[in-house]
Structure 1
Amino acid sequence: MSLAESWDKYAVGSKPRRAVNATGDTTWLNWTQYADHGPNESVLGPVAGRRVLELGSGSGSNLAHLVTLGAMGLGVDVAPAREAVARERWADLAGLEFRTAEATAFLSETDEAFDVVLSIFGAVWFVDPHTLLPLIRSRMASGGTLAFSHLPAGSQDVKPGGAGLRHNHSPDAWEHLLTSYGFGAVSASLIEPPEGRTVGTMLVRALAR
């Protein structure tokens, strides 16, 4: 089974995001695996007028929220089913595009430049950082923001790929990797889980030098 087929199979079993969140918003950004928990889009800084790339955009909900704030968004996902769902759900939202592609292939072939790149439990978690990070940096404007989240090391989930292929590094390891590939001002920390849960979320942010 190919990578795209594996992710398509996983996508079929995914539950759609709720129509509104706990505060009644119809769009929002969620960095963690828990509803209504963790920081919001402020992690990225101002996004209005900025070109934003999401690697592993899924149904497009996080990216769509940034577009409602004035960003110009492009979502890339390896699963064809994800693009179809995202296009249908957000068809009426201008300034938002979706493409089906593997992250490294897209970054290697595109000539587009981005001010913000984000990956929420997405490509940064699954692709070798020694391959992916320099490709991301090559498509980012100087001073641009890269931010991503994933489960902490040792955590288990059911996404395709298997534990051996996930790059859930420690904060120190991410700082070393990011600074090695042209990023600075790295902040990496664990978001504590909500009450009654035991697994937190790693959130990493860096600026392109």
Structure 2
Amino acid sequence: MREQDAGAWDVWGAVRPGRKEANAAGAATWFNWTQWPDHGPDEKVLGDLSGARILDLGCGSGGNLAHLVALGSEAVGVDISPVQVGKARGRWPHLDVRQQAAEEFLAAGTYDFSAVYSVFGAAWFTDPAELLPLVHARLAPGGVYAFSHNPPALSGCYGPQASQMQPPEKGVEPMYVKRWDYEAGAWAEILRQAGFTDVTTEVIAPPEGKRTGTLLARGVRAS
């Protein structure tokens, strides 16, 4: 377990509000790829979910995972933060949530998934040179890998960058984790080089009045 990263994500989880009780349509569970509520595509990005075995890398407090389970999927979530795992288990006790680093879970596993996804999670905060071969190996033939996160904040600043987690207590030093920033076209090439086909990448425009869109990438393990 990467203790320093776990501590930083505990800081994030402690100050992060949980998912609302219902969305704008009144649904108790829903899938959200973007940082904006009630915005963007839904779980159909992952393909046919009926009875599918699905893995959430960096599941956080479990909102997306709970929706997939409600749809009948056999879904597993992993998160490095004990605080986030505790939130997920507290709100949705029926979820299969593991406290573990994504790459450790993938490397230790013995069964395949129909889809693997990450929403502002491990796909953004793990070196793709390490993560993508592990994901590819754990996907069933024809399986989908999809992830979303913010587009690069600064043009020309690509690859590993620092993300700051500021504890709520005054006078406490911030903690840092690495994220991997690439533009949509660069992610497409990285996914192809890792063996994924039918690759698509896009930046989803933000809602009216917001400035930051969401980068969404998708690839398929060849049959």
Query: TM above 0.5, one fold?
Result: yes
Aligned residue number for residue 52 of structure 2 = 50
Aligned residue number for residue 217 of structure 2 = 204
Aligned residue number for residue 141 of structure 1 = 140
Instruction: Say if 1:126 and 1:161, in contact at 8 Å, map to a contact too.
Output: no
User: Structure 2 counterpart of 1:174, which letter?
Assistant: W
Greater Cα radius of gyration, structure 1 or 2: 2
Aligned residue number for residue 120 of structure 1 = 119
Which piece of structure 1 moves more, 82-91 or 130-139?
82-91
Which piece of structure 1 moves more, 77-86 or 153-162?
153-162
Alignment equivalent of 1:166, drawn from 179, 186, 190:
179
Instruction: Say if 2:163 and 2:179, in contact at 8 Å, map to a contact too.
Output: no
**C-alpha separation in 1, matches of 2:85 and 2:111:** 19
Distance 1:161 1:186, change over 3 A: farther
Q: Return the offset for 1:112.
A: 2.4
User: Structure 1 counterpart of 2:196, which letter?
Assistant: F
In structure 1, list runs of 5 or more residues that go unmatched: none
Alignment partner of 1:179 is 2:181:
no
Instruction: Say if 2:33 and 2:41, in contact at 8 Å, map to a contact too.
Output: yes
Task: Give SS of 1:167's match.
Answer: strand
Aligned residue number for residue 32 of structure 1 = 34
Q: Return the offset for 1:161.
A: 3.7
Instruction: Say if 1:150 and 1:168, in contact at 8 Å, map to a contact too.
Output: no
Count of aligned pairs: 204
Q: Return the offset for 1:157.
A: 7.0
Q: Return the offset for 1:172.
A: 1.5
**C-alpha separation in 1, matches of 2:79 and 2:50:** 23
**C-alpha separation in 2, matches of 1:86 and 1:139:** 24
Task: Give SS of 1:20's match.
Answer: coil
User: Structure 1 counterpart of 2:116, which letter?
Assistant: V
User: Structure 2 counterpart of 1:55, which letter?
Assistant: L
Task: Give SS of 2:180's match.
Answer: coil
User: Structure 2 counterpart of 1:47, which letter?
Assistant: L
Distance 1:50 1:109, change over 3 A: same
Alignment equivalent of 2:208, drawn from 190, 195, 199:
195
TM-score with structure 2 setting the length: 0.87
In percent, how many aligned pairs have the same letter? 44
**C-alpha separation in 1, matches of 2:17 and 2:62:** 13
Q: Return the offset for 1:158.
A: 5.1
**C-alpha separation in 1, matches of 2:212 and 2:164:** 14
**C-alpha separation in 2, matches of 1:22 and 1:172:** 33
